[in-house]
Structure 1
């Protein structure tokens, strides 16, 4: 089974449709049977991973963002897709194909999600693609604390560490993990939506390579070894703008910022007077996310990251019948609290403009990037 970007095959559409129908029903067995049947018929395992399972998972995210799937349905669908990948990995046809590489693997790769990153499916798909390509893969899963990652690197000595992150608030943790791996002499490849369009934040954080998807990651590793990192990597030199302490201030005072904005918000947005307790809790969560993304944008000095997130948040709210302009008072209150921090104030001003502009279609993940399959 093959598929090109401009001409999907009918076979691809049928198999993706069957998998979609099964996961929407919450029928794990039907989903697993659909993939097993495709393998029985001779379908290519990598193509199933990247052109069936991954697009179906992306559709799950889009449907949640558009408020056509509940959070529970989205979690169920994701859990089923994880089990489906397990079915594929253990299918006899796939096991036979992998046996050909067992005696002479290309090398060892550790695949892990950044500490705090719970979107594990992209990393799992990358791990399976690399195994199919003949690599010995240590898949460490979601939310891997950096000290444990480094302990694993010291114990197993992989040729490469592949790090995945989908949410930009994890970029500071990604920077720490990249640096810690490089100190051991191990090169790092990164990927996922957190690293921005075209992987723009990957180089800023000192990664040795970036790939937009699992195919590209596998091709880059097959092309030759990644360059060895320098013996001493000075992370502070990567981001000289952090000397202004704005990132430090915003992150250290985040709980207080959220508390004060929430306390003053009703006077700026009178509709809050009629909010239920649940709506007030959701508002507090939204403000906390705004502050977290502002911190991430300050860390990489990227105003578009924050304005993109704010526009995305507005689109998610609109899909749930909450007016986009309800975000503006919170942004104003944050700007007043951070008046002595020019980078933050400038980002908040751009975010206000983004909310007033035509909003993007809601997607499962905020910019930068869609839920691409990588690592």
Structure 2
């Protein structure tokens, strides 16, 4: 639901709630959500029309460098407490089936998936919420022990798609269908389809509606490995990650003189950024999607610009990887799209 579609009272409550989480005021934030429940606002609306939009704003303020990581983490912790308060106040009796809700292995953005779990509980499902970064083997053990009707798998960042694929296939191998959700699967669910999920939903409400229809409608494509993976570029890239990162740090230091005065913390942050680029490149290779990588580069450029990092540092790192990966035609194609995004839509590189 858009902000414009909300009642003036709920919009005002949303501003108060956001102010409370912005100041790490746990009790104040909980008071706001409990007042709404007492006023007759449905719990699902409190979760999806108040708490979820506030968390999106938190992420935007962090990306713009208006909020520190510490403030973002504090606000998220308060929102988790507010979700718990809603759940404690509203306790519907399960009368439908059982659903396991989990984040993809390596995915630590757990709040959106938690919101899905609570919406499903409100709709009458017995829910096992397993939290952030669930290792695949442990998820399968849980499925054997509990026998759910479906798994709802959350993935907020596309760089976790290779692990998500393994988890989807493993769940289906033991006879449990998978409902995929989260921004990592693409705004239109295209990566959920590619990786063989049984269904995809753009949000918690839509996911609950799908499950309520009595079974997940399967996508037409079978759950098999994408054909482009036969070239093994993804496998070789992941094996060379440490070497590529070391080479890039040395070359970037030579090409970008300001790095000579970087503090240890700045050097560590630069290495983290380059590693993140390689991980997103790997994900883009895995699903063979140029747009995934170029969108990531555009977002990263905005984040770095807000922190005073020159644009040439990002495009320079991308060019270094392009030069190192001469035997990786798909990776070079994807990197060229990323370089164009970093340079404002054009690139003079040759494949």
Normalising by structure 2, report the TM-score: 0.95
Match of 1:346 among 313, 328, 333: 333
Do the aligned partners of 1:186 and 1:229 also contact (CA within 8 Å) in 2?
no
Q: CA deviation at 1:308?
A: 1.1
Aligned-residue offset at 1:4: 5.4
Unaligned runs of 5+ in 1: 359-375
Q: 2:107 aligns with which of 117, 131, 144?
A: 117
Given the alignment, which residue of 215, 219, 225 partners 1:238? Answer: 225
1:5 Cα offset (Å): 6.0
Compute the displacement of 1:223 (Å).
1.5
Does residue 168 (structure 1) correspond to residue 158 (structure 2)? The answer is: yes
Question: 1:1-375 residue pairs with structure 2 within 5 A?
Answer: 6-91=4-89, 94-95=90-91, 98=92, 101-102=93-94, 105-227=95-217, 237-357=224-344
The CA distance in 1 between the partners of 2:310 and 2:256, in whole Å, is 12
Change (3 A) 1:198 1:227: closer
Counterpart-to-counterpart distance in 2, 1:317 and 1:226: 41
Contact 2:3 2:11 survives alignment (8 Å): no
What SS does the aligned partner of 2:53 have? helix
Task: Please say if residues 187 and 229 of structure 1, whose CA atoms lie closer than 8 Å, have aligned partners that are also in contact.
Answer: no
Q: Which moved more, 1:287-296 or 1:11-20?
A: 11-20
Q: 1:276 deviation in Å?
A: 2.0
| CA deviation map 1:208-264 (0-9, x unaligned) | 00000011001111122125799xx986x4311111111011111101100000011
Q: CA deviation at 1:43?
A: 1.3
3-state SS of 1:141 partner? coil
1:325 CA drift (Å): 2.1
Contact 1:315 1:324 in 2 (8 A): no
Paired with 1:338 and 1:261, the residues of 2 have a C-alpha distance of: 11
CA distance in 2, matches of 1:90, 1:7: 28
Cα pair distance change 1:209/1:83, threshold 3 Å: same
Q: Give yes or no for contact 1:261–1:330 (8 Å, CA) kept in 2.
A: yes
Scaled by the length of structure 1, the TM-score of the pair is 0.89
Contact 2:117 2:127 in 1 (8 A): yes
1:363 maps to none
Contact 1:110 1:161 in 2 (8 A): yes
Q: 2:159 & 2:204 partners in 1: Cα distance?
A: 22
> For residues 6 and 199 of structure 1, what CA distance do their matches in structure 2 show?
26
> Which secondary structure state, in structure 1, belongs to the residue aligned with residue 247 of structure 2?
helix
Distance of 2:218 and 2:192 partners within structure 1: 16
The answer to which structure, 1 or 2, has the higher relative contact order (CA under 8 A, 6+ apart) is 1
**Distance in 2 between the 1:150 and 1:227 partners?**
22
- The Cα RMSD (Å) is 1.8
The runs of at least 4 consecutive aligned structure 1 residues that moved more than 3 Å come to 3-6, 227-230
1:114/1:144 contact within 8 Å kept = yes
- Asked if the contact 1:328–1:352 (Cα under 8 Å) also holds between the matched residues in 2, the reply is yes
Most deviating of 220-229 and 76-85: 220-229
CA distance in 2, matches of 1:28, 1:5: 23
5+ long unaligned stretches in structure 2: 346-351
Cα distance in 1, alignment partners of residues 264 and 125 from structure 2: 51
Tell me the distance in 1 between the aligned counterparts of 2:151 and 2:339: 39
Number of residue equivalences: 346
